[in-house]
A and B are shown apart, each in its own frame.
Chain A
Amino acid sequence: EVQLVESGGGLVQPGGSLRLSCAASGFTFSSYWMSWVRQAPGKGLEWVANIKQDGSEKYYVDSVKGRFTISRDNAKNSLYLQMNSLRAEDTAVYYCAREVEAGVVDYWGQGTLVTVSS
């Protein structure tokens, strides 16, 4: 059974940092593009970043470029999102997601809430 389990969310002050993790199981992690998708409270879905199978390509939405870094450890079946210089508008549930093709996610984690507030 495919499982994606996020962790690392919480309350952080503006300008602070947080690192999200996603533990994957039930499939060959190293064979898939992986993504982070977020959803602000009461708002729609937004692609944040994705990363190629071997980590050689990484893409980001404009609003997080230079602040967020996506990475993966295929030996540990884990996906990460390092978030720096956090802003109030980064407040959202962050989902770990498995991409089967460009823009198509077939499995999602349960999400982890990040709240940026003083």
Chain B
Amino acid sequence: QSALTQPASVSGSPGQSITISCTGTSSDVGGYNYVSWYQQHPGKAPKLMIYDVSNRPSGVSNRFSGSKSGNTASLTISGLQAEDEADYYCSSYTSSSTLAVFGTGTKVTVL
């Protein structure tokens, strides 16, 4: 049950776009379209931002978008805002385990 690999940190200026990667294997990210993304502000519970690779739940800004290529999924935040500063985690179904697996997490900083 190894965690998916994410960059430790990503930063950008207000209004810019940033992309966070989430790398797994053919047993998880690459094999299924069951990748989700969560946003977590300090001291708060995570919030679902993207599910099934690219679907946004109701109420999530369309500045957030998801995609996948091979064994790597990506979350793009466009028009970066101060409120986007948070930790982001990817998650994927995996055939290697009976439970899903999270990514290592990425801290997004708005400069």
- B69 interface residue, CB < 8 Å from A? no
| Chain B hits for A46, CB < 8 A | 102
- B111 at the binding interface (Cβ < 8 Å): no
Chain B residue contacts of A108, Cβ below 8 A: 45-47
Q: Which residues of B1-56 are within 8 A (CB) of A?
A: 1, 3, 34, 36, 38, 40, 45-48, 51-52
- For residue A91, CB closer than 8 A to chain B, the reply is no
What is the size, in residues, of chain A's interface with B at 8 Å between Cβ atoms?
22
Give the number of chain B interface residues (Cβ < 8 Å): 26
| Contacts of B71-111 to chain A: CB distance below 8 A | 89, 91-94, 98-105
By a CB distance below 8 angstroms, the chain A residues around B104 are 44
B70 within 8 Å of A by Cβ? no
Sample of 21 A–B contacts (CB below 8 Å):
A44-B3, A44-B103, A44-B104, A45-B40, A45-B105, A47-B100, A47-B102, A50-B99, A59-B98, A59-B99, A95-B45, A95-B46, A101-B34, A102-B100, A103-B92, A103-B94, A103-B100, A105-B36, A106-B57, A109-B45, A111-B45
